[in-house]
Chains A and B, each alone.
Chain A
Amino acid sequence: MDVLKRIPVREQDAKERATNFKEVCLGYNKEEAMEEASRCINCKNAQCVKGCPVAIQIPQFIEQVKNGNIEEAYRIISESSALPAVCGRVCPQESQCEGKCIRGFKGDPISIGKLERFVADWARENGIKPTPAAQKNGKKVAVIGSGPAGLTCAGDLAKMGYDVTIFEALHEAGGVLVYGIPEFRLPKSGVVAKEIENVKSLGVHIETNVVVGKSVTIDQLMDEEGFHAVFIGSGAGLPKFMGIPGENANGVFSANEYLTRSNLMKAFDPDSRTPIMHGKKVAVVGGGNVAMDAARTALRLGAEVHIVYRRSEEELPARVEEVHHAKEEGIIFDLLTNPIEILSDDKGWVTGMKCIRMELGEPDESGRRRPVEVPGSEFVMELDTVIMSLGTSPNPLISSTTKGLDTNKWKCIIADENNGKTTKEGVYAGGDAVTGAATVILAMGAGKAAAKGIDEYLSAK
């Protein structure tokens, strides 16, 4: 074995998986995991832990995997993470734990994500559950939103003995894990539902179909329903559109709508009652992880799919692994291209998209080189479907109905990143509702910090 090389992980063949919704990555088996774990040099001053937003004791759990003691490895991970089977699949490890791995200086970093996933999957298959709190402290906390931030915050508080209720606006718990990330990247009934069961087994209640700000307000939760503190983890759910002519034509969708239909409403399944557009030629506008998810979903539903992105490959915000998978499956990348108009027929159905070529100019505030139009380079792509994946922003439903809860100019809730404290007493927030669209693990980190903040607040009361 070459210690500089990681043990490759098995994947579904690209041609085959392009036609199904089964998980792409098949994960390690125990032998592979133990072998990969043996590459870890167990650093004293472990950099990987510093790269992890929830500070999992990575060398310690890997040590247990190396020895074949997977149950103990799971116990160590569970101390820090409520959703290891999810994180092992969707965290951007390359820029976090694995990005800091000493092994990475001269060779491949340890496959920390794949090991985490193996441990979590093994625990699930062997019926191992996290341990609930020994004693309840009688204090009630409301958590708004059952996505990664909410589940993490709720799980941590429940472990400390709090009586936690999660309020979810949709009919199913999981937030973006359920409506946003597709089955082929994160299996719903197999993985997400089980992780949520684990959080419930800690004593957390989940009430679905409650739109906080409409069905009930935060003030009502605190004054009438007896909650001592509230955590807002309502995410960033509002889709952005480009504002170009023709964008309301039939066949233009937000990535949110397209993915929600496929993921939450199961439209990918031919037996589902939910309709979804089966385009023949689809353009997905945007270059983030959500764009890749939408593109790969459209591909699996039978379309020729183009990613249309105004900058170059280097600036694609999506994870390298996602771009790589998308290319392998046959997604076509039209880079340095920007839509300027959606064209439609006399019945209002999309027939094409007028685009303009771009080139990279001087760097902008984000440090990325600013794309500028190449004059006279307009051209038309023939299409029947356009999916806009330009990012999302927080929903103002909560902030606009809660007095004393301040937001910034992007409608993000203002909260202290160390403890989630907002401008309203007893109300904490974290995740995309605070930062704008980011990652699952950053939301979990914020949920964790807020659980600590809430505990400090209520303990002092």
Chain B
Amino acid sequence: MYKIVKKQELTTNIYLMEVEAKRVAKTCEPGQFVIVRMDNEGERIPLTICDYNREKGTITIVFQTVGAGTKMMAQLEEGEYFHDFVGPLGRPSELVEQPLEEVKSKKILFVAGGVGAAPVYPQVKWLHEHGIAVDVIVGSKTKDLLILEKEMESVAGNLYVTTDDGSYGRSGMVTQTIKDLVAEGKKYDLCIAIGPMIMMKFVCLLTKELEIPTVVSLNPIMVDGTGMCGACRVTVGGKVKFACVDGPEFDGHEVNFDEAMRRQQIYKTAEGRAMLALEEGDTHHGGCGNCQ
């Protein structure tokens, strides 16, 4: 059993939980993920690690209530327990593995969309702690849905916030901000984009044009997270990869996003998809798999 030591509702339907998981906290690196189960009947839900504290032995996760599983999970309170919490899974971010000097020599741009700010944060923080300042774009549908702004501000070199409806920060999609920054004369050697599949797809289309190598973090359907089920298979550069063990980060310019988005809807019925679009309202971001 894994105790929830902190719970916070970051904004409507997005929750942060800090959970005691000593083994995970000891060995995890930015870019990796965990799989959680709230009780003995629960689904196995994969979530990217948002932060970790090696001394306290805790892992921070951030999740959005999109389906029945995450909705029930949101009802867990501080002091209660997750039945299962396994990890760290997947490969650490390449930045963590590369020689520091090489990373330092690069101009890096992070692009976070919606709840994607959560997995971007530990990477930016890690780089900050290693003396590397990076530019970060955080995009959100609207002001109320923006998360982790303060945290990001404290570790980012430059932070650019944009909202689709212009209610806060810059106005428009993250792709607009990328275009603006490049037009202002910014040059980037590497882009790391994490967010809804549809956002990553369009960021990659743009950065390909701008010739900025781009890494994305995929979150397909998975069961075990150790390479056993193959549910998470994605096509990258024409080859089939398992996101759980080969990823979750991949070369964004090589990912077949249309297939990946399609595969996300395998267990969603037509009725379920319609319900999702309705319930998510303004926060609807392509999780239904129907949006292109």
Chain A residues engaging chain B, CB cutoff 8 angstroms: 169-171, 179, 208-211, 214-216, 237-239, 241, 243, 247-248, 250-251, 253-254, 256-257, 260-261, 265-266, 272-275, 277, 347-348, 395, 397
Contact = CB atoms under 8 A, between A and B. Distances in A.
A274 B68 CA distance: 11
Contacts of B235: 248
B84 A238 contact: no
Contacts of B240: 241, 243, 247-248
B89 to A, nearest CB: 6
Contacts of B228: 179, 237-239, 256, 260, 395
Bin the interface of chain B by size.
Answer: 35 or more
25 contacts: A169-B224, A171-B37, A171-B83, A208-B84, A209-B85, A211-B86, A211-B87, A211-B225, A214-B88, A238-B227, A239-B229, A239-B230, A241-B240, A248-B235, A248-B259, A253-B230, A254-B229, A256-B230, A257-B230, A260-B228, A260-B229, A273-B68, A273-B69, A277-B267, A395-B226
B226 A397 contact: yes
Given A216-B26, A243-B240, A248-B259, 9 more contacts: A209-B86, A214-B226, A215-B24, A215-B27, A238-B227, A250-B263, A250-B265, A273-B43, A395-B228
Nearest to B39: A273
A348 B259 contact: yes
Contact of A215 (B23, B44, B230): B23
Interface in B10-54: 23-24, 26-27, 37, 41-44
B41 to A, nearest CB: 6
A275 B267 contact: yes
A210 B21 CA distance: 11
Summarize A's interface: helix, strand, loop or mixed.
loop
B291 interface: no
- Residue picked from A247, A260, A266, most chain B C-beta under 10 Å: A260
A210 B41 CA distance: 19
Interface in B217-266: 223-231, 233, 235, 240, 245, 259, 262-263, 265-266
Contacts of B85: 209
Contacts of B89: 211, 214
Nearest to A235: B228
Given A248-B259, A250-B262, A275-B267, A211 B44 contact: no
B57 to A, nearest CB: 13
Contacts of A253: 230-231
A44 to B, nearest CB: 46
Nearest to B85: A209
Given A239-B229, A256-B230, A272-B41, A248 B263 contact: yes
Contacts of B43: 265, 273-274
B42 A257 contact: no
Contacts of B231: 253-254, 257
Give the one of A208, A275, A395 with max B CB within 10 A.
Answer: A275
A347 B262 contact: yes
- Counting chain B CB atoms within 10 Å of each CB, the highest count among A247, A250, A261, A395 belongs to A250
Given A215-B86, A216-B23, A237 B227 contact: yes
B83 A248 contact: no
Contacts of A209: 84-86
Contacts of B86: 169, 171, 209-211, 215
A170 B87 contact: no
Contact of B230 (A214, A254, A347): A254
